Amino acid sequence: MNWTYKIKNREKNFKNFFLDIFQKKNLFSEIIKKDLKTNFAQSLVGPGYLFLIPFIQALIFNFLLTNVANVNFSGEIPNYLFYLSGFIFWSLFSNGALRGSQGIINNIKLIQQISIPRTIFIISPIIYNFIVFLVSFSIFVAFNIIFILKTDFTISISIRFFIIFPLIAYCIFLSLIYALAVASLSIKYRDIVYANSIIIQILMVISCVLYSSGNLTGYLSYILYINPLTLIAETFRWAWFGSDFGITLNQIISQLIISFALFVFSIKLFLNKDKMMVDLI
């Protein structure tokens, strides 16, 4: 006899993980729509809050570092644009990572009522955040044009711009790793939910968002070997402003290996928890 499917006590494997995503891809748009409509229900600016975040963050750090502390990490680039360029990509990572990692906890009710692959709840906030990023990025471009018109700051159009596309993909990939790992741990240990935003902050400080890789000297330069996030802001500034690129090939290879290993680890962790999710949550 041909059975449609079989339910038993077993762990899903890597193949199931990806199959789940592709077979149910029509669910993403509905879940993202739901999130867009419900996350900001009864608020005036709505998702506007999200794409304003990097601009405000850049403003705060520009004030702290340029006006109060009088330091200059930016070289030729206007200070505000330098910090903004860091935060634009940082928000793509951090908001995706934060919201993705809360996806399971936020959708407990759905998970307990309907049989749907739970990866969807982690991936859809990340896609949602990518849409927010596109809006922020276009505002960033507009800011650049204003700076070019009003000051003597210039950007030379070059082939380097094309590296931005794989960079966006890599950044989303890293936020997926974080979200998968934290979401699966949070099913059992809620501590990580409370620690989540502070972890993101720590990561921000060590990820070249506020300075360039050249400022990491001595022992600190080992960060460039182990933290895959450093590549993002550094590469973006190189591509966009044509600033110095301070990460060596060895460091890039080491970062890529680490991020791939973390990816495999986080999927493994997620699949391990996926089985008992409804009972533990």
> Which residues contact another protein by CB under 8 A?
1-10, 26-27, 30, 33-34, 37-38, 41, 109-116, 188-189, 191, 275-276, 278-280
- Which is nearest to 233 in space by CA: 109, 122, 94, 106? 94
Smallest gap from residue 10 Cβ to another protein (A): 8
CA-to-CA distance for 17 and 253, rounded, in angstroms?
26
Smallest gap from residue 181 Cβ to another protein (A): 17
Q: What are the start-end ranges of the H helices in 40-163? A: 48-62, 79-106, 108-113, 119-150
Nearest CB to another protein, comparing residues 152 and 279: 279
Smallest gap from residue 192 Cβ to another protein (A): 12
Nearest CB to another protein, comparing residues 33 and 201: 33
Nearest CB to another protein, comparing residues 9 and 67: 9
Q: Map residue 72 onto helix, strand or coil.
A: coil
With a CB cutoff of 8 Å and minimum separation 6, the contacts of 251 are: 224, 225
CA-to-CA distance for 24 and 1, rounded, in angstroms?
27
Nearest CB to another protein, comparing residues 53 and 281: 281
Nearest CB to another protein, comparing residues 37 and 134: 37
Smallest gap from residue 161 Cβ to another protein (A): 36
Smallest gap from residue 105 Cβ to another protein (A): 15
Smallest gap from residue 129 Cβ to another protein (A): 19
Smallest gap from residue 268 Cβ to another protein (A): 18
Q: Which two tokens stand for residue 134?
A: 């596109």
CA-to-CA distance for 2 and 269, rounded, in angstroms?
32
Nearest CB to another protein, comparing residues 128 and 241: 128
**What letter would DSSP give residue 161?**
G
Nearest CB to another protein, comparing residues 2 and 217: 2
Q: Which two tokens stand for residue 187?
A: 């099913």
Q: Which two tokens stand for residue 116?
A: 């749907």
In this structure, are residues 18 and 270 in contact, taking their beta carbons and an 8 Å threshold? no
CA-to-CA distance for 45 and 47, rounded, in angstroms?
6
Smallest gap from residue 9 Cβ to another protein (A): 6
> How many CA atoms lie less than 13 Å away from 265 in the CB half-sphere?
12
In this structure, are residues 118 and 224 in contact, taking their beta carbons and an 8 Å threshold? no
CA-to-CA distance for 39 and 28, rounded, in angstroms?
16
Nearest CB to another protein, comparing residues 253 and 276: 276
